[in-house]
Structure 1
Amino acid sequence: MAFVPTDQQLIDFVVRESRLLDQQRLDDWLDLFTEDGHYWMPVEWGQTDPRLTTSLMYEDKLLLRIRVDRLKGKATYSQSPKSRCHHVLQLPQVDERDDGERHYVTWTPMHYIESRAEEQTLYAAWVTHHLTTIDGALKIRLKRVDLINCDAALGSIQLFV
């Protein structure tokens, strides 16, 4: 019998994903993605296609792995001292569920704080997770982060919102 997650398990998954980022457990975080998974941060309000319009980020698992390896590297001078982050989530909501197709969509309003040395930056965003189940575990097919001020001149975001 296939694993069918409850709404609470979907919500717990989203919360755990943010905790992994806050704890800088980046390899564990990356393992949450499917092999064909993507991380997307649109640059335009209401953007519908990451390939036809420039995005702040649109990375597949290979590019995510390269970014994680860079963040962990000793020669990454932009990360000396290392950046830290803190996610403040509102309660994630389950917007869609299709148990037959193993497709689940959650939506989470949040604040994200990134800190490095004496600098601290606050971002507000809505995060949409498109999830599936593989071998009895929830996985991310797509994580879409819509920054409220996506079209503003933004500094360099070092970590993952």
Structure 2
Amino acid sequence: MTAMLNDQYLRVMEVTELLAREADHIDRREWQAWVDMYTPDSEFWMPAWRNEDEITEDPLKEISLIYLPDRGIEDRVFRFTSGDSYASTPLPTTSHCVGSVRVLSDDGETVEASAKAIVATMDPRIGNIVRGVWYDYLLVRIDGELKIKRKKVTFLERVIDGTVDVYNV
């Protein structure tokens, strides 16, 4: 029993470390290190709210706030760091506080995990915004290291005030 609890604890700590590192890369604007955490075929998805109680379920058939397949975050990072994205100029500063990390399944090769976060965005154009989000991850082990294959971000606000992009959710 103790060995099983130790294994579960170590898995949660490994995922917690990965999510903390991801948040830190975003907040410190270490964009290439952040992108490198994702697999080449990764998906970043932020579904829209269908109504007060339900989010959309299929990014290919329903509206999404953000949908970036095939490591599309790399293209998004290029866009907002190039100065060509008016909505992201100047780029706001952020602070991601990630917690409530849970490992939902782990077969040794793939890990399903969830977490919750509060993201503070300091935007010189519109002021400070604090948002709540839920994260759902599919992680895969590549050469012994966890990589992000899928990240689903459920945005808890029903009405969006300000810019929403991959760096502030």
Structure-1-length-normalised TM-score: 0.85
**Alignment match, 1:25:** 30
**Native 8 Å contact 1:11 1:94 kept in 2:** no
Which range moves more in the overlay, 65-74 or 18-27? 65-74
Measure, in 2, the Cα distance between the counterparts of 1:127 and 1:158.
15
1:116 has 2:115 as partner:
no
1:69 pairs with 2:61: no
Aligned to 2:102: 93
Gaps of 5+ in 1: none
Instruction: Please tell me the residue identity of whatever aligns with 1:91.
Output: S
Is the counterpart of residue 55 in structure 1 residue 64 in structure 2?
Answer: yes
Give the conservation status (yes or no) of the 8 Å contact 2:98–2:115: yes
Query: Secondary structure of 1:91's partner?
Result: strand
Q: CA deviation at 1:63?
A: 2.7
Is contact 1:83–1:159 with CA below 8 Å preserved after alignment?
Answer: no
Give the structure with the larger helix fraction.
2
| Distance in 2 of aligned mates of 1:63 and 1:79 | 17
User: Take 1:34 and 1:28, find their aligned partners in 2: how far apart are those partners?
Assistant: 12
Quote the RMSD (CA, aligned, Å). Answer: 1.9
2:19 matched residue in structure 1: 14
In the alignment of these two chains, the number of paired residues is 154
SS of residue matched to 1:157: coil
Structure 2 residue runs of 5 or longer lacking an equivalent are: 1-9
Structure 1: how far apart are the matches of 2:101 and 2:71?
Answer: 27
CA contact (8 A) 1:38 1:61 kept: yes
How far apart in 2 are the matches of 1:63 and 1:154?
A: 24
What's the TM-score, normalizing by structure 2?
0.81
Shift of 1:76: 4.3
Q: Which letter does structure 1 place at the counterpart of 2:136?
A: T
Post-superposition Cα deviations, 1:83-119, rounded to whole Å, max 9, x if no partner, equal: 11111122311111122xx111111111111222151
Determine which of 84, 97, 106 is the counterpart of 2:93: 84
Cα deviation for residue 81 of structure 1 reads 2.8
- 2:164 matched to 1:157? yes
